[in-house]
Every structure is written in structure tokens, then in C-alpha cells.
Chain A
Amino acid sequence: MNTLNSVLTSIAEYGYWFVLAGLIAAFCVRDPRKRGTLVQILLVFGGIIVGSIFLAAAYGKLKPLPGLAWSWHSVKISISLFAIQVESYQILSPAAANLVAHALPFFELFLGLWLITGVGRRFSSLLATLVLCGFMIAISHAYHKGLKIDCGCGIGPPAEAGPAALLRDGLKFLLPSLLLTIGAFWIHHKPSAASVSAPATATTTPSLP
């Protein structure tokens, strides 16, 4: 499980370099058909990268505390500790913070898997982008209030909610998710080769008297 977490965390931490490189490559390719193929490849890897972000975040929130083995009890402990972190943002009431703490890790798990499968990528990537925007708003709110709290992101070592966490979330997480969303919508609305050649076949059909 630790190896899997290491892989996911590495993808989440360094995947944005791949996305940026792919974006530059997409701009450099002049042939529209090759560009479309390249974008499709980038969407697959982008989905894996952004999905890994959410899977790593879910793992970080659910994994047992040091010294404890994986069990339903250890997951409950981790979730209740995460509830303390959510409440420390002072945005939600205790009951709401508790609800978010219990639902968010499993939602991140679902969203991560959804992104990796590539099914309905437009919607999964849009949802991921909105969720990441929400996280950044919460971190900004905590920083604005002067709260010295753990960001509770669950990815990598604990980070204080502040400019560093915002920069990390914005560059490493939100940027790939935003590019994935844009790419998914662009590839969906890109005119296909079949529709371009359709008018040519229509002119050969004889009209009835």
C-alpha cells in the first residue's frame, strides 16, 4: 500500500511537468490531425495525473495513524482526526465539518477512479476543477483569517495553509485539472473528419421527381 501511495504521490507531485510539456508540444504541432491525436494522448495521461491527485489525497486522509494497521476502526480514527482539521478552517459548523470529513475522502476516491477510467472525462474533469477551486478558496480563507493550521490536503508532508499551499495546489493540481477540462471539451467539440467529407457524398444522390 505504501508503494502504491508513493507512486500516486509522485504522479500527483510531478505530473504537472508532463502536462506542461505536453501543452507546449501541442502548440508546436501544426498538423491539426496530429494535434488532435496528441491532445487525445495528453487527455489519457492527464486523467491519470489528476486522478492520482485525488487518489493520493483520499489515501492520505484514510490511512491509519502510525502504529495502527488497516482496519475499519483505524479508518474511523483517521476520519475523525480529519474532521478536526476541517473544523479548524472555521468555515463550517461542527456538524457540517463532520459531514464533510466523513464524505470527502470517499468522494475523492470515487473522483480519482472516475478520472483515471476516462469515462465522461468532460464532467469528471470539470468536477475535479471545481473541487480544487473550492480547496483553494478554503486555504485562502484560512490564510486571510491568520489561522496557523494544517491544510489537511493529505498529499505529501503536512503543509500549513498559506501561500505555499496555494502555490502548490494552484500549480501542481489546479493547472493540470484545468488543462484537462479544457482539452476534454475541446476534443469533444472539434469537428471530426467524417462531418467534413459528408457534403461531398450528398451531391451524388439523385433527387426524385
Chain B
Amino acid sequence: MNFCSDSSFAKTLWKGRLPWPILSILFILILGLSIASPSATGTSGKTTGKATRAVEPLGQPVKAYGSKDAPITMEVFTDYQCPSCRNLYEYTLRLMIGDYVASGKVYLVHHDFPLSGHKYSGQAARWANAAARVGEFQSVEAALYDNQDSWGADGNIAKYVSAAMSGAEFKRVAAIAGSCDYPAITSRPDGSNPLAGIARPCPLDIPIAQDIAMGYHIPVQATPTYVISYKGQHLPPASGAVSWMILKQFFDSLLSQ
């Protein structure tokens, strides 16, 4: 390494041969930029809100696992026909449900965000919500993700839902799921209300539409998207599958506070 040019330059610098007025002007400009910069108000690079902003609840959960009193809440927006959502459920959420949800550390809330590009995702959301009304949401969600490739090809969701519960319960769920007399709703690329234009929306679609509206507000730009809340503070939304190892490490760091 040849430091000669740097050291001789340093001598030149301190002999005052460089234009000190220019350096002073530059320093003042940079200082002025930092004062005028919006980031000088202390906003985080990771969030767009103030440090002490009031917490706005994301809404009444329809489908959830665990205790509401858990210190960490994870709200997940998913599409049952989305492969990434399946990966998140199979390789992360399932492990989390058996571990941190069961031990009361995490409260997991599911929100529906069926995408318009998936042919049967709206129907799947209806089946899941119908199952949630009879207390069978967890088994149906597992059945939907486990058999996603199958029902995603032919739309025969009833086959897998019926296998996840008793005959009597399936009859109740099927009756609820079939109570709507118009096609299943999905989120819209333009962010409009999925129930717009429907004179009498069926009760089953109302919580789905509420989840979609919530998703627009986040905003959900891809599925899965999840929002983690800790001690009343919503952390920035994240999307994509995450491994249980990485997510668990994050939860541990939050809980160690």
C-alpha cells in the first residue's frame, strides 16, 4: 500500500493551501440539508409512523389460534391457492402453532386476501369461513393447504373439506358455504370494494370483504403478508415466506426485552 500520496496531500491540506471557504460552504450546505431533511424529525427508516403513534387495531379477528393475551400477535393475510402461502403455513406456521402459539407466546390471526388471479381462492375462503362458524377452521385450513395442488386444479374443495370433519358438521358447513347466490369475491387490483355492485351480499362474504379492506389499508401487495404486533406496536408489514428458525429468533428477541 502506498500512503505517500495521501500523507503528502494531508500536509498540503493542513498547510491551508486548499480553499477553506469552499470547504466551509460545503459544510454549511450539508448541515442545512440535514436540518431541512424530513428524516431529521426522527422517523424510522423501517416504519413511516411516529415512535409514539397510537395503535390502531387491525379489526376483529375471524379466524385465530391461541390466546388473545399473548404478548405477540401475528396477523397473516393469505390466499388459499397461493403456493407461497402454503409454504408459509406448512413450514412455519404449523411449527409456530405447535410451539409458540400453544405456549401462549403468540396469537396468530388469519385474514383472507383471495387474489383475483387464482380461480378458486374465493371459494376456498368461503369454505374456510363457513368452517370457522362451526369451530372447524383449523382442520379445514390444514386440509386446504395440504391438498392445494389437487383442488387448485379442478376446484373440488368440498371433497377435502368433508374429509377434515364429521359428516354432520360437513353438512352444516356445506349449507353455510352454499348460501351465497353469486360468485365468490376476491380482492381487486384497483383496490375497489369486492362487494361493490352486489345488492344483497351474503353474510359469509362480509368478513372476507372486511379482511380484504384491511389488506388494502396495510397495504397487502403480495401474499402472504404478515403484520407482527408487540406490546401494542405494529411492526412494518413483511411479505413472503419466512422460515420458522428466523421467525422464532425474532420472537425470542422481542420476548427477551
Interface string of A135-161 (1 = CB under 8 A from B): 000000000000111100011111010
Please state if A7 and B6 are interface contacts (CB–CB under 8 Å). Answer: no
Tell which of B141-149, B179-187, B247-255 binds the partner.
B247-255
Please state if B242 and A87 are interface contacts (CB–CB under 8 Å). Answer: yes
Contact with A73, one of B231, B238, B257 (Cβ below 8 angstroms): B257
Give Cα A79–Cα B256 distance, bound, in whole angstroms. Answer: 14
B206 to chain A, nearest CB (A): 27
Contact with B243, one of A41, A94, A187 (Cβ below 8 angstroms): A94
Number of A-B contacts (CB under 8 A): 135
Give Cα A120–Cα B243 distance, bound, in whole angstroms. Answer: 40
* Nearest neighbor of B36 in chain A, beta-carbon distance: A10
Contact with A94, one of B233, B238, B246, B256 (Cβ below 8 angstroms): B246
B207 to chain A, nearest CB (A): 25
**A2 neighbours in B (Cβ, 8 Å):** 39-40, 42
Q: Is A179 on the interface with B (CB-CB < 8 A)?
A: no
Tell which of A58-66, A170-178, A200-208 binds the partner.
A58-66
Q: Is A28 on the interface with B (CB-CB < 8 A)?
A: no
Majority secondary structure, A binding face: helix
Contact with B40, one of A6, A40, A95, A187 (Cβ below 8 angstroms): A6
Q: Is B202 on the interface with A (CB-CB < 8 A)?
A: no
**B48 neighbours in A (Cβ, 8 Å):** 157-158
Give Cα A143–Cα B241 distance, bound, in whole angstroms. Answer: 16
B→A interface (CB under 8 Å): 1-3, 5-6, 9, 12-13, 18, 26, 30-31, 33-35, 37, 39-40, 42-53, 221-222, 231, 233, 235-236, 238-243, 245-247, 249-250, 252-254, 256-257
For the complex of A and B, 7 pairs with smallest distance between CB atoms: A148-B222, A94-B243, A66-B51, A6-B40, A80-B250, A10-B33, A6-B34
A→B interface (CB under 8 Å): 2-3, 5-7, 9-11, 14, 18, 37, 40-41, 44-45, 60, 63, 65-68, 73-74, 76-77, 79-81, 83-85, 87-88, 90, 94-95, 97-98, 118-123, 147-150, 154-158, 160, 187-188
11 more A-B residue pairs beyond the given contacts A5-B39, A65-B235, A66-B50, with a C-beta to C-beta distance below 8 A: A6-B37, A7-B34, A10-B33, A37-B12, A60-B45, A67-B51, A68-B257, A81-B46, A98-B249, A118-B6, A156-B39
